[in-house]
Amino acid sequence: MTARIYRPAKSATQSGMGRTRRWILVYAPARPRTIEPLMGWTSSDDMNSQVRLSFATKEEAIEYATRNGIDYRVEEPTPAGARRAMSYSDNFRPGRPQPWTH
C-alpha cells in the first residue's frame, strides 16, 4: 500500500491561503473502481481510499508513514508566482499605461 504526502494548493475560488498550510497523507487506490451492475454506480471495496490524514509538517507525515511501515512518495508544492500588489483605484490613476476604455 502506497501513500502520497503533499501540501494542497489553494483552490481557484479562494483568494486566501486557507487549508493550504497542512500536509496531507492519502493512500493510493489498491484496486481500480468497478461499476456496480444493478444501479450502474461506481463502487470500491478499498477502505484506505477513504482515509485522509492531516499533519502540521512534512516531517511529521514522513515519520508517521515510516513508523507504520507505509511506502510513501512526497510531492513538493510548487512555489507561487510573485503577484504585484494593486488596488482598485489603480485602474483610474492618471499615469496608467493604457487608458481606461469604458
d(CA 51, CA 24): 10
Under 8 Å between Cβ of 48 and 31: no
Specify the residue for cell string 481557484. Answer: 12
CATH of 1-7+22-76, one of 3.30.160.190, 3.40.190.10, 2.60.40.10, 3.40.50.300: 3.30.160.190
Contacts 24+ apart (CB under 8 A), 16-22: 22/54, 22/55, 22/56
Residue range 38-91, pLDDT digits in tens: 999 998 888 888 899 999 999 999 999 999 999 999 999 887 777 777 788 887
Q: Of 19, 50, 81, nearest to 9 (Cα)?
A: 19
- What's the pLDDT score for residue 100? 66
Give dist(CA 89, CA 102) in Å, integer: 15
Tens digits of residue pLDDT in 1-28? 799 999 998 877 777 777 788 999 999 9
Q: What is the pLDDT of residues 26-51, one digit of tens each?
A: 999 888 899 999 999 998 888 888 89
Q: Where are the domains of the chain?
A: 1-7+22-76
